[in-house]
Structure 1
Amino acid sequence: MVMTENLSEKIFKPQYDYPETSSLIKRIDSSNGSSTSPFDGEIDSKWYRIINPILWYWRGLPKLEIEAVLSQIAISTKRHTDDKWLDTVIGYQPGNWIYEFLNQAAKWQAKIDAVDQTNLSEEAKNNLHQDYLIASEYASIASYPHFKNDELALYAQTCAYQAYMKALEYSPYTTKQIEFKVENRSIKTILHLPQNCDGVCPVVLVCNALGNLQIDYYRYFSEYLAPQGFAMLTVDLPTVGFSRNFVLTQNSSQIHQAIIEQLATVPWIDSNRVIVAGFRFGSHIATRLAYLMPNKIKGLFNFTPFVHQIFVDKTLQQNLPNCYKDMLACRLGLTSVSNQQLAAELNYFSLKNQGLLTRSCPVPIMNIIFEDDKLSNLTEAKLIQSSKQSKIVTIAKTPLQKSLQNALTQSVKWMESIL
């Protein structure tokens, strides 16, 4: 992924020859489904994308600004790919999702550019750090749902990574960009190191949710992992970001397995103290890693695990929102998708069908689930049994912000306990 010029140096000229995101995956079957959880966001039939303002606020974006950007999109009278969806304005112009969120990122970049960056105080450095993170998050949202064949979204991803790398220059933490070899190709990852780490420190390998970039987890590191001395290593899912040249297969952990095999070559971390953390769909990857590489992994933490039900329950699959089905199709390398085809493809992903969940996992496991989560429930969590230690924590769905904070706090305490 080639970095480009600063956002403020890019002239945001309207262009009308770009296909709109919602038209990139051909849907044989359409759905107004609502099978998600509060963690995924708000399901509203007026939007193609799954709107998740609570998570966006948690990542540090100003509430009023988010509402203003969404309002700009909602009031647009420009031509849409589908009139029932507010966020499907055709072309790179006002009202288009990517345009509006990238434009907001550019405003923060302009604020940064106005700062005299000579002889900066610590407070000024921290302000620049936070402002770059905000610009990065806006660009990340612009790219969502991160389709590989979405040219504008790919540009937004580049902008998001560029701003994130600038944010890390002003971070109180040391970070390293590390390349690992996967099938004779290079994968770029980002290693975040805590302060006051004597020699080498334990590392948490983050396995992303389906709709995230690897740069979306900074707050988890800075507020939860780093204070307890944990490093964090992030890597993109197949077809996304720095992993966009890979396609998601039933061997979902392919990239992460290769990375773990090479961790001993990374001088800042203890490759004998590795914990894998799977968020939503990423739990499929994390759980496979724990079963297949128990001698290299000390613990498995899953945040609302996906290991069986969503991959075999056709009714549940059919009731997924269109955007979620399209994300699955894109990650699988499909340009069109029907309910029947999706069911056939996903069936191979069930870790129960793959034979892994028929035995106990030889590493300690912690699973966190939310109340009324249609995609990840207690039954799903209980499928992942450990021969050493199994812990399941159920988090109340309201208030969501407090519940999320509680869940992440408990995850780090558990990690400390197993090490």
Structure 2
Amino acid sequence: MQDQVSENLSERLFSKVRKIQETSTISNSAETMDEPCGEQVLIEGVCSNAWYRVLRRTYWIWQGADPIELEEVLSRIATGEGERSHPDKLDTLKGYAPGNWIYEFSQLAGEYLKKGRDLEEAQMPDAARNAYLLAARYYSLASYPHLKGDELAEQAQVQGNLAYRDAGRLMPVALRELKIPFRDKEICGYLHLPSDEHTVPVVMVSGSIDSLQIDFYRFYEQYLAPNGIGMLTLDMPGIGHSSQFPLVQDTSRLHQAALHYLRDEVPWVDNQRIGMVGVRLGGNVAARLAYLEPMHLKAIACIGPGLNQFFVESPLFNQAPPMLRASLANRLGADAKDWALLQPQCQIFSLKRQGLVGVTKTRVPILSIGHKRDFICPESDIRTLASSSHYGKALVLDKLPVMQVFDRALRETCDWLKLHFNI
């Protein structure tokens, strides 16, 4: 019966959207894409002129995707037959059909969702949980880069969250979904606990403007849970469960509300040991919160955060590849076609311009991590952020491959939290 319900839901979600707007045309109405020539290596992955999306193979595999399955899907997308929104971009095939990015990853996700149902019915909860997590992983990939108004992607997000909740029922401590009141609306967050028999330290985690909160389970499972640290994931403004909240200068307003809710309303949380980990724009949120809530945050870690220079220096801003441009424009309700007009608008996100980072100091311990070759968070921003805390530390990485760097960043982050949580 559950299988039938899931299949019927999938049919309802996707049957009427075969000719819907293709992802690369959302928030970018330009007929051609202004982009750097050749292959551009970012700390998250590779931006190639042949693909609209930034391919983060190593990162996706680390998150749980099977490398063989991943390459098979990418191959089907690359060889898909049909009209593309941008003929030179392999992943821009129109319509919900074979070769379309969302279609291919959703098909694979659906297989794992069904497998999870079958395994759960066979009384194999651990295997079922892993299948559900893979379903959530592939639905998240189907939705990537999670643009508001991308109807196919939004349906994949719905499915991904359902699969994640199914996995959550079978976790060692059941996943808890928090509904946090905020201005007559609700902020949705997923709370993972290593134990519900006593209070535990908790870290809020948020990513970039092209990631979902269901993308961070591996960080919890491998790094936080073994050290007795809980995790509350939150979507950034304009994304996923937080898509109803626009991205504005006060980037941290949702997380500030979540912080107060954790302190005052959640009985499993040690309210004297709450921290935050932010990646990319999530790092902007974490740093901002360190100034606004110095008495309530125990420590933060920022990984490759967008802080200042990317927003105020045109040469850096213009290095953004097409997908990142569309993602940023999407959160602002703008069109990436007008990129030159966006840069002045985005200067409001500079924490230096806001009179915070590099201007005053906070007592919240800040771990600032970045890569020497990162245009979004140059080395000077990394060091400026660390020096903006009375108890700051900078870690500037300069080696590839990316995942070795990323693994070190996460290990350093976990050690930093343990140090300041007195674990």
Q: So what's the TM-score if we normalise by structure 1?
A: 0.93
Q: CA 1:262–1:81 in 2, change beyond 3 Å: closer, same or farther?
A: same
Q: How does 1:325-336 map to 2 (within 5 A)?
A: 325-335=325-335
Match of 1:153 in 2: 153
Equivalent AA in structure 1 for residue 255 of structure 2:
H
**Helix, strand or coil at the partner of 2:114:** helix
Task: Give the structure with the higher percent helix.
Answer: 2
Per the alignment, residue 55 of structure 1 pairs with 59
Question: What is the aligned counterpart of 1:33 among 13, 32, 36?
Answer: 36
Task: Give runs of aligned pairs for residues 21-170 of structure 1, distance below 5 A.
Answer: 21-27=23-29, 30-33=33-36, 38-115=42-119, 117-118=121-122, 120=123, 124-170=124-170
For residues 111-164 of structure 1, give each alpha carbon's deviation from its aligned partner in whole angstroms, at most 9, with x where no partner exists. 23443625x2xxx32111111111101000111111111111110000110111
- The answer to whether the Cα contact below 8 Å between 1:36 and 1:320 also exists between their aligned partners in 2 is no
SS in 1 for 2:172: coil
- Residue type matched to 1:16 in 2? R
Partner residue, 1:220: 219
Aligned-pair identity in percent equals 33
Cα deviation for residue 242 of structure 1 reads 1.2
Does the CA contact (< 8 Å) of 1:108 and 1:131 recur in 2? yes
Uncovered stretches (5+) of structure 1, i.e. residues with no partner: none
Residue by residue over 1:12-47, the C-alpha shift from the partner in whole angstroms, topping out at 9 and shown as x without a partner, is: 669532010111223458322379754321110011
In the aligned structure 1, how far is the partner of 2:152 from the partner of 2:288?
Answer: 33
Query: 1:405 — aligned with what?
Result: 407
In structure 1, the residue corresponding to 2:135 is in which secondary structure? Answer: helix
SS of residue in 2 equivalent to 1:79: coil
Q: Which stretch has the larger CA shift, 172-181 or 330-339?
A: 330-339
Secondary structure at the counterpart of residue 6 of structure 1:
helix
Query: 1:276-291 maps to which residues of 2 (within 5 A)?
Result: 276-291=276-291
**In structure 1, distance between residues paired with 2:7 and 2:140:** 13
Q: More displaced, 104-113 or 12-21?
A: 12-21
Change (3 A) 1:336 1:386: closer
Cα 1:116/1:416, change in 2 over 3 Å? closer
CA distance in 1, matches of 2:64, 2:176: 23
2:384 matched residue in structure 1: 383
1:173-199 alpha-carbon deviations (Å, 9 max, x no partner): 33211111111211111110013x652
Cα gap change, 1:203 to 1:320, in 2 (>3 Å): same
Cα separation, 1, equivalents of 2:119 and 2:198 = 36
CA distance in 2, matches of 1:291, 1:378: 21
Q: Secondary structure at the match of 1:205?
A: strand
3-state SS, counterpart of residue 64 of structure 1: helix
Deviation of residue 6 (structure 1)? Answer: 2.1
- State the shift of 1:376 in Å: 1.6
Residue 396 of structure 1, CA deviation = 4.2
Following TM superposition, by how much is the alpha carbon of 1:335 offset from its aligned partner in structure 2, in angstroms? 4.2
One-letter amino acid matched to 1:226: A
2:139–2:160 Cα contact (<8 Å) kept:
yes
Partner of 2:178: 178
What is the SS of the residue equivalent to 1:302? strand
CA contact (8 A) 1:13 1:93 kept: no
Q: 1:400 to 1:40 in 2, by over 3 A?
A: closer
Q: Which residue of 2 aligns with 1:354?
A: 354
**Which moves more between the two structures, 44-53 or 380-389?**
380-389
Which structure has more relative contact order (CA 8 Å, sep 6+)? It is: 1
Q: Deviations over 1:185-225 (max 9, x none)?
A: 11111110013x65211110112211111010001011101
Deviations 1:234-254 (A, max 9, x none): 111112211111110111111
| Offset, 1:98 | 0.5
Could you say if the C-alpha distance between residues 127 and 312 of structure 1 is closer, same or farther in structure 2, counting changes exceeding 3 Å? same
Paired residue type of 1:207: S
TM-score after normalising by structure 2: 0.92
The CA deviation string for residues 239-295 of structure 1, in whole angstroms up to 9 with x for no partner, is 221111111011111111111122211111012211111111111111110011111
Secondary structure, aligned partner of 1:177: strand
Is the 8 Å Cα contact of residues 14 and 94 (structure 1) preserved in structure 2? no
More deviation, 156-165/337-346 = 337-346
Deviation string 1:304-337 (CA, Å, 9 cap, x unpaired) is 1211011111111122111100000001122454
Q: Take 1:182 and 1:5, find their aligned partners in 2: how far apart are those partners?
A: 33
Cα 1:8/1:403, change in 2 over 3 Å: farther
**Alpha-carbon distance in structure 1 between the residues aligned to 2:40 and 2:257:** 31
Q: Matches of 2:312 and 2:40 in 1, distance apart?
A: 16
The 1-side partners of 2:18 and 2:364 are apart by 53
Task: Classify the secondary structure of the residue corresponding to 2:295.
Answer: helix
How far does residue 77 in structure 1 lie from its aligned partner after superposition?
2.1
Counterpart of 2:283, as a letter, is: S
* Equivalent-residue separation in structure 2 for 1:199 and 1:14 (angstroms): 48
What secondary structure, in the 3-state scheme, does the structure 2 residue paired with 1:276 have? strand
Match of 1:174, SS state, is coil
Partner residue of 1:393? 395
Partner of 1:372: 373
SS of equivalent to 1:26 = coil
1:205 matched residue in structure 2:
204
Task: Kindly indicate whether residue 16 of structure 2 is the aligned counterpart of residue 17 of structure 1.
Answer: no
The offset of 1:416, in angstroms, is 1.1
